[in-house]
Structure 1
Amino acid sequence: MTYRFSLFIFFNTLFTPVYGNLDNLPPALEWIELTKTDSIKSSYSQITILELEKLIEDSFTNKDSLGAIKYLNKLGSVYTNRIDYQNSYESYWKALLLAQKLGHLKSQTQSLIGLGILYSLYDRRDEALSYYQKSLNLSKELLSHGQIDSLYLVKNFYILAVHHRYDHQIEKAESYLDSCTLFRNTAIETDMVKAERGYLTSLKGEFQDAENILLSLEKKITESTPTYLVFFYSLLGEMYLDWENDILAEKYFIKSIQQAQIHLSHLNFLPTNYNHLANIYTRKKDYKKANQLLKTAHELDTWLYSSLSPNNKYMLEIKDQIRIAEAKRQALLKEQKIQHLEYEDQLWFMRLIILLIILISAIAGTIHWGFNLKKIHGVRQNELEEKRKLEVAKNQEILAVKNKELTNTTLQIIAKDELLHQVKTQLKTVQKKDAKPEIRQIINSIKVNKDMSWLEFENRFTAVNSDFYTKLQERYPNLNPYDLKICALIKLNFTAKEMAKLLGISPESANTARYRLRKRLGISKEINLTTFINSI
């Protein structure tokens, strides 16, 4: 959430629930109309602007300067709450100048905090911190003289804790919260201090502890300070958003908006709440609702802070009344200040030019480096691809040589078996003419074992073509062992006659086996069977 949306909550409440359908949330125009009538009372302020202006006028008439300061500070707070920053600024400055004239330090502390909040609303953080520190220093001075109780400093410490929390200075924020407890002279913290401490806990990633702290405060805050619920529910929404719980985040952002509508207070929380809801609905892919919410957020932000808004033109050119008065009395100092600002502008411009040159050089260098890196990467990829191709070609050559050797070996086995068969046949012819026992013994010793021949072939084939059978069976699981034998012989470019000799079948049976294999593989006659099997 933006820093400007929470700074004036605690200060305002010191001087001063329903979770429904998203479709019931008011559009931007309705919010704007709600703030236009000066006679409207809200839960935040049970007195109207017109009534306050009458009280201020009466105080001046009765020469009650302290009363006028009190009501001017109150009016500034109401105007801030109602998004009328110009009138708020004027009210606080009138109160501050009058309090300085009277030397009333306590009233000055309130005006300074109010002005600090206005500066913070436009992210002028250094100026805001300066006003908060001035207020704290005056409060400490009053405490040292016994003019105020230590409890009075709590609002100073609280506002500084919030300021440093938005600067992501968690330790400083916790230190100021500790001071809130210390200066109350009790270990019991206020609900708002507890809520801030709970949210700081969530920023440290301790979401469960933060949830326990914050949810335990809801009932008490609802009963004691209902206008603070606008801020409180927004804190819960932020916590659940960081906790990546969009459902509960949506719930509490809607509740925050509804509390702003009920109490007509702290309306400057609206743009951030609508923006968060738009992001949640974008993640839900409900782009229509997300677009509506984003449009409302943009219109409210424009109305609150844009220079196009007549409500804000004045605030974009905030004038420090004390400095103007000083400048009128010291013309020379003013001229020096203007010259210094001009020098700062020139210095800033030169820094910008240098920064742009550095940025452009860095971008150009990055592009050049990226181009070279891509080029080098491309060259390396080409080298690797060439190396891979050479490796594949080499492996294919080795495989071809080994398959050729295997083919030759197999053919030799076939020739051997055929020779043995011929010898055995001739011996049987001789035996018919001369039945000597020695001839029968030789015939019986000659055995042509086709199964052993095939087993020897298959072992050698698998050693060379290790994954051939695996790939073949993965693509064609319906092939039987006999089909696998035929595929192996075809891969080695065996003829039907050579296949027949190795398998112990006729050449016609070998051709029939090839024909059946084509059908099982689902290939036509136009496709070369040997080429097809070698491609597997």
Structure 2
Amino acid sequence: MRSIAYKHLLIFTFVILVSSVVCGNVKNADRIQNQSDTIVTHFQIQLRKAEHAGDTIKIINYKQKMIRHLSGIGRFHQAYDNIWSLLPLVQTDEFAIEKLELFQKLTGLYIIFEQYEKAGSYIQQSFDLVDANIEEENLKAYHTGMIKGQQAWLLMKQSRNYEMAEKLLLEKLRLMHQAKASRNEIRYTNLQISELYLDMFRTEDAGNLLRTIYDEVGEAPMQIHALLFHYYGRYYKQLSKNDSSIFYLQKSIETIDFYHIHLDKRIDDLELLSECYVAKGDHEKALRYLLESKMLSDSLFGSKSTLNKELFEIKDKYTLRLQEEERKFDAQRLELLERKNQVWLYKLLSLIALSILIITVLLVYFNRQASKLRNEKLLLKKEQELEKQKQNVVLEVKNKELMSRALQMLERDTILNDLTQNIADLPNNDKTIGELKDLANSIKIDKSKKWEEFEIHFTSVNSQFFKLLRENFSKLTATDLKFCAFIKLGFSSKDMSELMGISPDSVNTSRSRIRKKMGLDRQTNIVEFLQKLEIIE
């Protein structure tokens, strides 16, 4: 009788325990559900406003936020539906980054539902998308690192190839540093590595990483603490330090409940708490946490069941079929539009032909006008060149006349000088000779006055010559200008010496000085240079 009563007591205690766990779990699930529904409703309101405004960028942003939230609270099917509804909006190159993020979300869902082949397919598509559309070095490194992280996660779940997963995660960490990712993103990468080390039972390596992260983030509440405390709980459990493990697992649950994230880790936390209490011999708490874990898993994450996996695959096939039907409908609609547009095409071609004809006529007309204008300009240019050549010829003739006149003056002065000198040499024995000497003494050749007369005639013929010399060669003196005029007219050094009343050597010295002041090299002919000066200008 005592044995039967004892069994009844145990059954009654178990029923009471299960009932209390069920009630508590239902209340907690309802609270989480209500809070999540409020957030989802907010996103839906904002999404409707964006759709009404036709703002594609805002539609994509709100959809992405909703997908992240639904994934975080375990409503994977709704997240999956939103992903497929968003994919048509991000098919252009403009939204390559957004499309890549959706591929990564799909990959995560397929890994959760153990559809590893599809997950691998989307990982490869993600790599191809990065190679084809992202050129900026840091951005490419960042997204490549994120994909390698998912590749490592797939290996850990599918084949438990921990060595290859470790290589991929270390490569991801390197790429995150190369991309200058935020400290928080690098911490999450280190958390993923610590999870791998715990799976490999490299407990000490995992502990070192966790302590480094904990020293960086401190005690202030942050979302990262949900995972950090979870892995600390696993770490201390591997060390058989059950009290420390219980402490961090409970803190992980508190953080998950506060931020409404990583609800899959809440189930793991409850299971680990149950195992810790079994090790401590507290079977009542162990059973309580185990039942809570089971019921929470069934209520929030029942999509992990075999039936729901099949439903997920059916939905996947149905989505693909819808896409195929939509492609067929688009093809039919395109064919209909092509038929309707044939008439418009003919009209358009006629309009184009008429436009080409009009444009051709206008081009011929304007081309003729342009040709006429070019010919007129060419004729005017030739006339100007001929006029300039005529002026140069006239100038050359006048300069020759001027030179001839100057030479005649020089010859006359020479004759007078010789005559005066001969008279001066006659003996003074005759009255007539005395009168001749008086007459010879009265004849004086004023060279400065003759230069002034020469300059007036020269300037009238070569109006710009002296002006150009003064403007371009400011160091030339008045005497230098005289020499330049004589050189331009082609006077020899002997002629210039007689005109200037100096020796030929002085003339040559003056010519050298003038060349130096004008910066002329030895290859430049000073006569040709001065004769062309006015013409060049």
- The structure with the larger Rg is 2
Name the one with the larger helix percent.
Answer: 2
TM-score, length basis structure 1: 0.50
TM-score, length basis structure 2: 0.50
